[in-house]
Homo-oligomer: A and B are copies of this chain.
Amino acid sequence: MKRAVVLLSGGLDSVTALAIAKQQGYECYTLSFDYGQRHDTELVASEKLSKQLGAKKHKVIKIDLRTIGGSALTDNDIDVPEEHHEGIPVTYVPARNTVFLSIALGWAEVLTANAIYIGVNAVDYSGYPDCRPEFVTAFEQLANLATKTGVEGNKLEVRAPLMRMTKAEIIRQGISLGVDYSQTVSCYQADEDGRACGLCDSCHFRKEGFIQAGISDPTRYSLGS
């Protein structure tokens, strides 16, 4: 059976990417990171969702991006904005997806996996540079030059199945594949019970997505709605 490493943040997008990888016939190995993020309830959610969706194995790797800082998600001195601004916001974590994909690449090589799935999206998103199609393509090229398996001709694909979908389309697809979105945590500053703030960029896109999909929003909010 062909294998895939799936990056799983515990949010709406990555969980949908996992459901798609499974549907596309992959045995899935899910990978989450304890990187010093504010919202570590997503780690609890990831483990639960990995099991629910039948992944073969779930791994959490600890890497302290707080020692680098530079983001509202990894530095307590920078607040998470509660309204939407133009440009790349302060919640952008320097090189985060590059770091996550690199470690996924290492695991993919050990597993002789054929694909890495990442739930990035360049439609209803915050404008992070490492969520764009050209970034994913460049990483796939790098991946096949970087590894022993790549050199030996075992091509690895980096798949971003949500790249061109709206949030509403992602939600509809996930629902059709049996994803339970009440278990996912998207909020940048969820409380310790996993309840969402309802105000940050990530809550904003998620909330709009459910409205546009015409699906009742199962998110548990602590403020707003």
Whether a CB of chain B sits under 8 angstroms from the CB of A106 is yes
Q: Report the separation of the CA atoms of residues A139 and B145 in the bound assembly, to the nearest whole angstrom.
A: 10
Interface of A is mostly: helix
CB distance from A136 to the nearest CB of B (A): 9
Copies of this chain: 2
Is there contact, CB below 8 Å, between B135 and A146? yes
A17: interface (CB < 8 Å): no
Instruction: List residues of chain B with CB within 8 A of the CB of A69.
Output: 110
Q: Are A107 and B68 in contact (CB under 8 A)?
A: yes
Provide the bound-state CA to CA distance between A92 and B150, in Å. Answer: 13
B102 contacts A95, C-beta separation under 8 Å: yes
Mark interface residues in A170-214 (1 if CB within 8 Å of B CB, else 0).
000000000000000000000000000000000000000000000
Q: Size band of the A side of the interface? A: 35 or more
**Alpha-carbon separation in the docked complex, A95 to B109 (Å):** 8
**A62 close to chain B: CB less than 8 A:** yes
Cβ 8 A contact of A94, one of B95, B110, B151: B110
Give me the interface of A with B, judged by CB distance under 8 Å.
Answer: 59, 61-65, 67-70, 88, 92-99, 101-103, 105-107, 109-110, 129-130, 132, 134-135, 138-139, 141-143, 145-148, 150-151
